[in-house]
């Protein structure tokens, strides 16, 4: 796949060769290659929704490669408050930069932005839909511990209904026929259409509400928080809030060697005591956002081939 000049909106636009290219490029960057390759390039970050890791890692990635950053986080001090449309914002900002990274609460907003922008657009999360660069960094993190993704037994725990990171990663792993376990209360189970797609792609997909009832030794447990902001009915949120909590005892039950991942932020779904375990990967995972997003920016801007 030639990334140069291309927008990255959905995992469905990416094939396994592209995943391999991003992983290889991120590894080379982590080893010190491509320093300064984005000098005189400008990134615009349009974050209509809160973010810490995604926004700051994109900004760090751009600056570490020699580029500069403009943009906003939150719309209080932008023309959006005056009623400016997303279309007008994107068309205007595209004239100020070489690439746009956008996060928006509405599903499909990133796709719309890519269709009207004169520069490449990278989706940093659109509602409960897609978050492709999170999937890239998850893949990269997995690749550091597992040489073959098809052999990884992974369980997804928590909010599988609204979790865009889970949606993107599970679909991507299905391209490698990775076996998966979906562990969630009925109210937050993986959307049926996505489970069907995953099975059609050749992965096995087991569904359960009981974490301790998983009858296989998992290699990875990918934990997600219950996303309060996605609920329209707070009574429904209260029904599922705090329904899972990963502790050292739970990790021991799962076999001690299971790698614990989480896209962050967390609330109370992983106890602080787990942080001290060697197999708690979530902060390492978050830090991998820099080389992976460096790879994405370098490839999209044609500075890395």
Give the pLDDT of residue 242: 59
CA 156 to CA 154: how far, in whole Å?
7
CA 142 to CA 171: how far, in whole Å?
15
Q: Which domains, from first to last, does the chain contain?
A: 11-132+287-300 (3.40.50.1370), 133-283 (3.40.50.1370)
Tokens of 50: 């809160």
> Is the Cβ–Cβ distance between 245 and 273 less than 8 Å?
no
- Distance, C-alpha 114 to centroid of its chain: 19
Interval 54-109: pLDDT, tens? 999 999 999 999 999 999 988 887 888 888 999 999 999 999 999 999 999 899 99
Radius of gyration of the chain from its Cα atoms, rounded to whole angstroms: 19
φ, ψ for residue 220 (rounded to 5)? -140, 135
Choose between 217 and 275: higher pLDDT: 275
List Cα–Cα distances, 142 to 173, 184, 259, 265, 267, in angstroms.
11, 22, 9, 19, 23
Q: How many percent of the chain have pLDDT more than 90?
A: 71
Interval 170-187: pLDDT, tens? 999 999 999 999 999 888
The H or E element that residue 125 is part of is: strand 121-126
Residues noted as catalytic = 53-54, 82, 103, 131
Interval 196-245: pLDDT, tens? 999 999 999 999 988 877 878 899 999 998 765 555 566 665 665 656 88
- Distance, C-alpha 141 to centroid of its chain: 12
CA 106 to CA 104: how far, in whole Å?
6
Interval 246-265: pLDDT, tens? 999 999 988 879 999 999 98
Give the pLDDT of residue 80: 85
Give Cβ neighbours of residue 235 (< 8 Å, ≥ 6 apart).
none
Give the pLDDT of residue 226: 76
Q: Residues 141-148: contacts with CB within 8 Å, 24+ apart?
A: 141/261, 141/281, 141/284, 141/285, 141/288, 142/220, 143/23, 144/288, 145/259, 145/281, 146/219
Question: Which sign does the torsion angle of CA 91, 93, 99, 103 carry?
Answer: negative
Q: Does the predicted model carry a pTM greater than 0.85?
A: yes
Interval 124-168: pLDDT, tens? 988 777 889 999 999 999 999 998 999 899 999 988 988 888 998
Tokens of 13: 């636009």
């Amino acid at each position: 796949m030639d990334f140069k000049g291309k927008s990255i909106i959905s995992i469905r636009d990416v094939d396994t060769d592209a995943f391999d290219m991003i992983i290889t490029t991120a590894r080379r960057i982590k080893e010190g290659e491509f320093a300064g390759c984005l000098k005189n390039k400008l990134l615009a970050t349009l974050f209509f929704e809160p973010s810490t890791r995604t926004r700051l890692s994109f900004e760090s990635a751009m600056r570490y490669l020699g580029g500069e950053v403009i943009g906003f986080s939150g719309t209080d001090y932008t023309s959006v408050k005056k009623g400016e449309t997303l279309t007008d914002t994107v068309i205007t900002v595209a004239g100020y930069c070489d690439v746009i990274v956008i996060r928006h609460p509405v599903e499909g907003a990133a796709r719309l932005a890519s269709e009207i922008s004169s520069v490449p657009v990278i989706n940093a999360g659109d509602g409960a839909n897609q978050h492709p660069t999170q999937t890239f960094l998850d893949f990269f993190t997995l690749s550091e511990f597992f040489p073959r993704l098809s052999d990884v037994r992974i369980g997804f725990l928590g909010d599988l209904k609204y979790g865009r990171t889970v949606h993107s990663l599970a679909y991507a792993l299905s391209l490698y026929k990775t076996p998966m376990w979906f562990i969630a209360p009925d109210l937050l189970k993986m959307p049926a259409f996505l489970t069907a797609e995953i099975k059609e792609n050749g992965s096995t997909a087991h569904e359960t509400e009981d974490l301790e009832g998983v009858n296989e030794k998992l290699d990875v447990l990918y934990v997600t928080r219950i996303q309060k902001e996605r609920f329209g009915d707070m009574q429904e949120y209260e029904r599922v809030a705090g329904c899972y909590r990963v502790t050292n005892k739970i990790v021991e039950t799962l076999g001690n060697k299971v790698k614990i991942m989480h896209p962050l932020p967390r609330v109370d779904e992983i106890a602080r005591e787990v942080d001290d375990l060697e197999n708690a990967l979530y902060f390492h995972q978050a830090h991998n956002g820099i080389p992976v997003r460096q790879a994405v920016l370098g490839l999209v801007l044609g500075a890395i081939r």
